[in-house]
């Protein structure tokens, strides 16, 4: 069955430190891959996406993600975290088996220490 796994429920980093949030998917082919961020009480904002081509994609707010086909992973990174990055981050996959729905991971809550 198609699935998306975000193994870390919570991550705490210090402001200015680097960040990597993990995402793995289970699907036979390469799906479309997305990262969304949800601030408290807010909706889902698209950070970045991967459809094809260069496996390192740049997004908004200084985020980037790298698609690794061999590991079925699409990890999100940021070199220096800001306090305003504290939020919940969701990995999502789409375009599997001709479906347009997104399947979301369970999310990773990022806490930023001052």
Within 44-83, the residues that bind another protein by CB under 8 A are 44-46, 49, 51-52
Name the minimum Å distance from CB 72 to another protein: 18
Q: Would you call 108 helix, strand, or coil by DSSP?
A: strand
Contact 89, 4 (CB under 8 A): no
Which of residues 19 and 34 has its CB atom nearest to another protein in the complex? 34
Selected binder of another protein within 11, 30, 32, 73 (CB under 8 A): 32
CA distances in angstroms from 1 to 18, 25, 95, 97, 100, listed in the order given:
33, 10, 14, 11, 16
Point out which residues bind another protein (CB under 8 A).
32, 34, 36, 42-46, 49, 51-52, 90, 92, 94-95, 99-107
């Amino acid at each position: 069955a198609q699935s998306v796994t975000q193994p870390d429920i919570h991550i705490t980093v210090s402001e200015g430190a680097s960040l990597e949030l993990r995402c793995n998917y289970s699907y036979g082919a390469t799906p479309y891959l997305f990262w969304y961020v949800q601030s408290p009480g807010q909706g889902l904002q698209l950070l970045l996406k991967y459809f094809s081509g260069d496996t390192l994609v740049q997004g908004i707010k200084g985020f980037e993600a790298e698609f690794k086909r061999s590991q079925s992973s699409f990890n999100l990174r940021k070199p220096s975290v800001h306090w305003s990055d504290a939020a919940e981050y969701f990995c999502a996959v789409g375009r599997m088996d001709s479906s347009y729905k997104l399947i979301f991971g369970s999310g990773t809550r990022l806490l930023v220490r001052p």
